[in-house]
Structure 1
Amino acid sequence: MPTTATTSTIDTSAARGAAVLFVTNSHLESFYPVSWLADGGLIGLTLFFCISGFGIGKAASTRQQSFPMWYRRRLLRIYPTLWTTLAALSLLLLHKWHAWSVADYFEQFLYPTQYQFIAKIVVYYVAVYAAVRCERTISAYRLLLITLGLTAMSALPDMISLTREPVVLRTGQLNQLFLWLTFLSTTILGLVLAANDRWLRAPLGFRDLLWSTGLVAAYVGTKLAMSRWAILPQAFLVYFAAGIGLSVLILRVLVQPPDQPIWRYLYGVRPFLAALGSVSLEMYLVHIQLYQLSLWQRLAFPFNILTFLVVSLVVSVLIQRLVRLIPLPK
């Protein structure tokens, strides 16, 4: 990456905590009296992918590894936790061993798994590593522009079909090429931010407030229009752009140094999110298993959500400690 990037550390743990909260909330439609309050999946996922690209970009500025060693380290961070979660929750707690075929075991334990982030990030790692190593040939910024252009082009089939036949749109119904390119662009955006992180470090100002207000309005407005009122489904590009913009602004807020004025107004938020960020992978994996249990439906709102979050967090910590007992290669 360019040598203009500062090498001092930016702590993204609070941002990871926020990301997993957004993703978890997006799966809780049946927990809320109003289902559209269960939102934030796009923001959470884009935060995860952006932080991944950011971390890779920062690591590349300090050391270089061969691809096999580099890739193995990242897979060892993901798969032992995935396997432990599936064994403890899918097989033992949910008794899915009754229903899974041999093919299901390969799909769940290896690839693509039931987790969107894992299915994509293990592929993106290859592209991101190539981008880091080929930086002298094509910069991360130019690569971002290329992927954004391809993303816009891949949206055309959906825009045409939605113009002909408007429907109540859920983002999972969009074509897979568009979704893959969108999150790849977000990961490469993380590389760009790692190489030019002065903006992330700069104190927050009135301009950030204006941007956040506009992005929230665009995000909520297009979300309601598409998924609740069944109008303007072609506006999904605006929805995705606003979601990515909000995720970057959230990252900017949550990496602000502890002495910045904002933390006087959000006292206690940063330590809580940072603690959650320390088990963000585990929480991401665990909550998708636990919310399949029917017992949450017996609890009234908001106790169902609070109980679910506490139980998910406790199980996530236990999973993390179990994984630490596994003798993994270094």
Structure 2
Amino acid sequence: MMYRPAKAYLCLSALKNNLKSVQAMAPDSKVLAVIKANGYGHGIERVAHQLSGADAFGVASIDEAMLLRQKGFLHRILLLEGLFSEAEIPVVIQNRLDLVVHSQHQLNWLLNSKISSQISVWVKVDTGMHRLGFEPKELPSVISRLQNSANEFCIHIMSHFSSADEKSASAELFTQQQIDTFEDCTAAFTFNRSLANSAGIMRYPLSHYEWVRPGITLYGAGDIPGFENHGEAVMQLESEIISIKNIPAGESVGYANTWTAQRPSTIGVIAIGYGDGYPRHAPSGTPVLINGQRVPLVGRVSMDMITVDLTDLAVQPQIGDCAVLWGKELSVDEIARFSGTIGYELLCGITKRVPMIEVQ
């Protein structure tokens, strides 16, 4: 029994359709579907089932990989941050996991271990993001050490975009420089390569190479210039109006009196708040859909409630009417822009007390 009205509806067909869209955009590449962070907040097992048509999955840790293996998934699974300790190597071998290798200490762990079976390693090169990865000039030495090891490695080469989803001229120039750097430092090798994330898949076809790594686009989100309607929203976050109040001009609403009515106003209270994962920093004016009509949030977001201004609606809502916080008609990315964050954070931040209901 679900008594509280806050719920997240997950459209399973949207996941499948978004994967098909990626495959159509990169028809000559294999697809590594990124499902880390509990499937971007959608449930990793649920997401993996719907994205079973992908060629591989990308996760952040062995914990996530082990959950998939325990649930019977036989796909290639890539640990996107590689090993956190040398002690993980036997688990990697036993569960046939692929590894990112991004630093000398990880490389040394592999080379100093006696490994009886082949391991697929994805050597990460830093093309300018300066987070993880070997310097381009180090790549030949890293490859040579892997090839000359007593252990057997299947080698791939990868990097990661920092600004492919940015439209400014400087960001586009930097992204092209990353592509050029990656092309230059890998040209001497015949290994499979991977560079394109969601934005790269859409905006930079020359970055597709043998593998693409879609993440946010699989969930129908992500602010990607020129591709604002690139996917179907998977998550629709809904709740209901639980109270309607009429207040006179000059009265304030919510904690700290941050919003004051400039006219006689009708205020609706919706059962959703930061305890559910709705962003506390969403300001007054952030849109909410009430029966399909946009109304502005007013006052501060509380743990369990938000308030909206219903005054301008032609037909006044009733207690129990539906409120959509984000979904198909109201992008999570728009809510994120109002809140000074990104859609990734909002999707990943839905808390356990919000039931997730699968729909087709």
- TM-score, reference length from structure 2: 0.24
Larger radius of gyration: 2
Indicate the structure with greater helix content. Answer: 1
Indicate the structure with greater strand content. Answer: 2
Higher relative contact order (CA 8 A, sep 6+): 1
- TM-score, reference length from structure 1: 0.26
